[in-house]
Structure 1
Amino acid sequence: MNANADPAELHKFSELAHRWWDPTSEFKPLHDINPLRLNWIDASSPLAGKRVIDVGCGGGILSESMAAAGATVTGIDLSDKALGVARLHLLESGLKVNYELAAAEEYAERHAGQFDIVTCLEMLEHVPDPASTIAACAKLVRPGGEVYFSTLNRNPKSYLFAIIGAEYVLRLLPRGTHEYARFIKPSELSRACRDAGLDVLDLTGMSYNPFTKVYALGRDTDVNYLVHTRRDG
């Protein structure tokens, strides 16, 4: 498969896959921010009754929570190990999610316009061609449907906070989790969305307080940020 993927990135997350659902592991930040991102999506596009695809679903933290909110969820990823963990966790949770090993571009060719909502969170900074992933997400959603992204801004502050702070000082993430050159400025992401036929509706920042150890959504998009878009009707 000629996928838009970096083998080194896939290997990195595959090696950690067995720890995906351990809330004290390297994936603790994902567990901590998941209620925030889930509520943010559900507030603007109520999930109940919607057909949703989670692009780059990994071990299924977001996918499961959207299913619990009443959505019919498909999760796609290129890490077979992560998907194996995601499927095993369904036995524990009792939820229903359709997990498939597939690249976004390839899946979009077969399922164009079939989803009400597309989510692609914490993934764009890990692929060689983010614009290709964004275009695939735009193709997957129906006209008038919603697409959600999240990623990391590229500036000196984000390097200090997301790499030096999170990986080396606070050790919230394993060293080497992120590569600064792959961070994406909001202007770049917005341009790629417009090129793919997506209207940018909202840009929201996510910050972390190292003293209270609490994540919060707000106006500060200097480091982590989320984008809500809608496909042209």
Structure 2
Amino acid sequence: MPSNQQAELDKFDAMAARWWDADGDMRPLHDINPLRTGYIERRANGLKDKRVLDVGCGAGLLSEAMAARGARVTGIDLAMQTIGAAKRHAEQSGLAIDYRVVSSRDLAAEAAGSFDIVVGFEMLEHVDRPAHVVEDCARLVAPGGDAFFSTINRTPLAAALAIGGAEYVLRLLPRGTHEYAKLIKPSELSAYCRHAGLEVADITGLRYNPLTRGATLGHRPDVNYFVHARRAVDAS
């Protein structure tokens, strides 16, 4: 594993104990979690009884929200302390979620086509080879299934708001959480999807107001954005 990728894992492991503090390091994720869960549920025509994989699940904010809506959730991450926090919180919440410390590449080799929905939210900008992760997600989703991604656009506005504003001015996130060079343009993510055999069905921007702690979808993807893609029914 490249050393910079290990640094990313260490960064999130260091936040594991505070992950579920709604006013802590993960405050923005807590604030947007209902919106992103609703987006998945709406675009995938429901979550109940769906087999869902949460790639880069962290300590399980999204995994638990989807499980609470009836999904059968598997969450994977390579940050061991973070997965430990996810398991403990799920047990306290009475939710049966299969959390595993495994890479998307290794899971794709053993469970290709096993999931109705595969989600990679707020994680592509933290990996060394995002195109490879998209390929893994495409392999893991069943033919006719849905894949969802969210990340941050590589624009001066995103640098000002998502990095400068969030990390250095308002201190909503620890400094160094994001690196500008690892941000991903919608055109790049769309190309990753097409190369992996996924058809992009929707791209929409997210706006987050840190003062009101409110978020809305349906905007230009200038900063944060969501992508919904589908795997063809006849995909082999």
Q: TM-score, normalised by structure 1?
A: 0.97
The residue aligned with 2:28 is 29
Instruction: Give ranges in structure 1 of 5+ residues lacking alignment.
Output: none
Task: Indicate conservation of the 8 Å contact 1:3/1:103, yes or no.
Answer: no
User: Alpha carbons of 1:4 and 1:37: their partners in 2 closer, same or farther (altered >3 Å)?
Assistant: farther
> Do the aligned partners of 1:4 and 1:128 also contact (CA within 8 Å) in 2?
no
Instruction: Give 2:52's aligned residue.
Output: 52
Q: Distance in 1 between matches of 2:2 and 2:99?
A: 18
Correspondence for 2:151? 151
Matched, 1:188 2:184: no
What do the CA deviations read for 1:110-153 (whole angstroms, capped 9, x no partner)? Answer: 00000000000000000000000000000000011000000000
Cα gap change, 1:5 to 1:40, in 2 (>3 Å)? farther
Match of residue 19 from structure 1: 18
Moved over 4 A (4+): 2-5
Give the conservation status (yes or no) of the 8 Å contact 2:31–2:213. no
Equivalent residue number for residue 39 of structure 2: 40
Q: How far off its partner does 1:210 sit? A: 4.2
Amino acid at match of 1:23: A
More off after superposition, 90-99 vs 212-221 = 212-221
Call closer, same or farther: CA 1:38–1:5 in 2, change over 3 Å. Answer: farther
Whether the aligned pair in 1 keeps the contact of 2:22 and 2:30 (CA below 8 Å) is yes
Aligned: 1:135 with 2:120 = no
1:224 match: 224
Q: Is the 8 A contact 1:4 1:132 kept in 2?
A: no
Q: Between Structure 1 and Structure 2, how many residues are aligned?
A: 232
Tell me, in whole angstroms, the C-alpha distance in 2 between the residues paired with 1:5 and 1:120: 20
Q: Is this contact kept in 2: 1:114–1:142, CA < 8 A? A: yes
Instruction: Please tell me the residue identity of whatever aligns with 1:94.
Output: G
Percent of aligned positions that are identical: 55
Q: Does 1:63 align with 2:54?
A: no
Give 1:232 deviation, angstroms. 1.8
Answer yes or no: is the 8 Å Cα contact 1:147–1:228 preserved in 2. yes
Task: Output the TM-score relative to the length of structure 2.
Answer: 0.96
| Residue deviations 1:76-100 (CA, integer Å, cap 9, x gap) | 0001100100010022110110000
- Distance change in 2, residues 1:211/1:18 (3 Å): closer
